[in-house]
């Protein structure tokens, strides 16, 4: 197969490209330039799009003996991932930019361009596995599963890609037991990135100051912080900078009457108001989702495509635990509903992703639109 290897400049994507070459594929490496701002490509950038990363990707491609190109996807990245990030915070929601990057850039813009150029698949350094299984009607479907290494598993942020794009995706690292094994593989192959530190934080927030980034882009919007009775207990410079579950940096003018810590329990974008309250108000046992993506055959076994409830597990954070739940696809719409059965969750915010699993298999994904307790919590 002709395979386009997405090479970020890190050890994971370099080893993924190497394994694709070793498997006998005709591989071409490409590095995605995602920023319009050269400052974000400075030395020491904490994301995955610095000048050093492009150079590291080129050197890895040279070692592997494959062609290498840099594709400028900065305009698409700004218009989709960054714009969504700003719009979601401005609306009082909590987005996950890595999910949107996988949706709009790596498995939309990149994969679609690769297909147009005649490539059969895109290989990335994500930690996940693809399993091909025969369906009851005799057809086959590719399933997205968790990686062998649970600590590095990235199936949560990949779930948004859906079944059609999964058909043309390769994740060569899914079977590795640990990151140490991947680094050892890189060293064995003479790849200089074998000891390179992992990237972290939001790649387009170069200094890690998310609140500062939002303030620079959205401007100052002074407002008040109130308690659940509506009493003003503080001020803020923009409700967009707060998220449900936040405790630090609230700048409250007076402590709670009972002396207990207070958390952000609601962000009301329409009135530019932040509401704080006790931890109990963060506990939820029901979740509604929108913009739902289901994988092929995921619901057929349960008949849940008609809106029937079925048993599954759900995960609401990239590195959170999956917990037992009852789930159903909303009939006639693009939503889903979740009733947690194992235990409640705390601090689930609109805008987060909720991913539905059956064991290691990803069944589907949605963006949280609402999270609440079925019965009121006494405080």
- pLDDT surpasses 60 at 379: no
Distance separating alpha carbons of residues 368 and 95, to the nearest angstrom = 10
Active-site residue flag, 101: yes
Active-site residue flag, 203: yes
Instruction: Determine the distance from the C-alpha atom of residue 111 to the mean position of all C-alpha atoms in its chain, rounded to a whole number.
Output: 18
User: Which residue of the set 48, 49, 98, 203 is catalytic?
Assistant: 203
pLDDT tens for each residue of 351-372: 999 999 999 999 999 999 999 9
- pLDDT surpasses 60 at 283: yes
* Pick from 44-48, 130-134, 349-353: least confident: 44-48
Cα dihedral sign, 265-269-271-273: positive
**Average pLDDT, integer, range 178-183:** 96
- pLDDT surpasses 70 at 321: yes
Distance separating alpha carbons of residues 19 and 23, to the nearest angstrom = 6
Residue 307: predicted pLDDT: 81
Q: Which two tokens stand for residue 5?
A: 């290897």
Cβ neighbours, 10 Å, residue 268: 13
Residue 4: predicted pLDDT: 98
Kindly report the three-state secondary structure assignment for every residue of the chain. CEEEEECCCCHHHHHHHHHHHHCCCEEEEEEEECCCCHHHHCCCCCCCCCHHHHHHHHHHHHHHCCCEEEEECHHHHHHHHHHHHHHHHHCCCCCCHHHHHHHHHHHHHHHHHHHHCCCCEEECCCCEEEEEEECCCCCEEEEEEECCCCCCCCHHHHHHHHHHHHCCEECCCCCCCCHHHHHHHHHHCCCHHHHCCCCCCCCCCCCCCHHHHHHHHHCCCCEEEECCCCCEEEEECCHHHCCCCCCCCCCECCCCCCCCCCEEEEEECCCCEEEEECHHHHEECEEEEEEEEECCCCCHHHCHHHCCCEEEEEECCCCCCCEEEEEEECCCCCCEEEEECCCCEECCCCCCEEEEEECCEEEEEEEEEEEECCCCCCC
- pLDDT surpasses 60 at 268: yes
Please give the mean pLDDT across all residues of the chain.
90
Distance separating alpha carbons of residues 351 and 365, to the nearest angstrom = 12
Q: What structural domains and CATH numbers belong to the chain?
A: 2-125+172-195 (3.40.50.620), 220-277 (2.30.30.280), 282-372 (2.40.30.10)
User: Which residue of the set 48, 49, 98, 101 is catalytic?
Assistant: 101
Backbone angles phi, psi at 47, to 5 degrees: -95, -135
pLDDT tens for each residue of 293-318: 999 767 654 555 558 899 999 999 99
Spatial contact of 287 and 340, defined as CB atoms under 8 Å apart: yes
Spatial contact of 373 and 283, defined as CB atoms under 8 Å apart: yes
pLDDT band at 204 (very low <50, low <70, confident <90, very high): confident
pTM score of the predicted model: 0.91
**How far does the chain reach from its first CA to its final CA, in angstroms?**
60
Q: Which two tokens stand for residue 174?
A: 């899914």
Distance separating alpha carbons of residues 208 and 201, to the nearest angstrom = 6
């Amino acid at each position: 197969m002709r395979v386009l290897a997405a090479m970020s400049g890190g050890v994971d994507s370099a080893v993924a490209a190497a394994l694709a070459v070793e498997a006998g594929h005709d591989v071409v490496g490409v590095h995605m330039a995602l920023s319009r701002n050269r400052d974000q490509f400075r030395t020491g950038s904490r994301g995955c799009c610095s000048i050093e990363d492009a150079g590291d990707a080129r050197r890895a491609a040279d070692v592997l003996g494959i062609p290498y190109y840099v594709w400028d996807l900065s305009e698409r990245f700004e218009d989709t991932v960054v714009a969504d990030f700003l719009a979601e915070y401005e609306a009082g929601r909590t987005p996950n930019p890595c999910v949107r990057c996988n949706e709009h850039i790596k498995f939309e813009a990149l994969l679609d361009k690769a297909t147009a150029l005649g490539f059969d698949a895109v290989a990335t350094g994500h930690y996940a596995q693809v399993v091909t299984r025969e369906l009851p009607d005799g057809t086959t479907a590719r399933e997205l599963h968790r990686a062998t290494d649970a600590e590095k598993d990235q199936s949560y942020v990949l779930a948004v890609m859906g079944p059609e794009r999964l058909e043309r995706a390769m994740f060569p690292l899914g079977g590795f037991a640990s990151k140490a094994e991947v680094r050892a593989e890189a060293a064995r192959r003479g790849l200089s990135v074998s000891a390179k530190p992992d990237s972290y934080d939001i790649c387009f927030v170069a200094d890690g100051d998310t609140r500062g980034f939002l303030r620079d882009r959205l401007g100052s919007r002074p407002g008040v912080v109130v308690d659940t009775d509506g009493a003003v207990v503080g001020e803020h410079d923009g409700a967009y900078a707060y998220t449900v579950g936040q405790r630090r940096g609230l700048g409250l003018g007076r402590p709670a009457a009972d002396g207990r810590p207070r958390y952000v329990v609601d962000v009301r974008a329409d009135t530019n108001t932040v509401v704080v309250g006790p931890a109990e108000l963060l506990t939820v046992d029901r979740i509604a989702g929108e913009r739902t993506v289901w994988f092929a055959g995921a619901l057929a076994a349960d008949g849940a495509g008609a809106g029937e409830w079925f048993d599954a597990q759900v995960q609401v954070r990239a590195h959170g635990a999956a917990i037992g739940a009852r789930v159903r696809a909303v009939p006639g719409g693009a939503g889903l509903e979740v009733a947690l059965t194992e235990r409640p969750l705390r601090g689930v915010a609109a805008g987060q992703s909720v991913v539905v699993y059956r064991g290691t298999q990803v069944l589907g994904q949605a963006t949280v639109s609402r999270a609440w307790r079925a019965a009121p919590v006494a405080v």
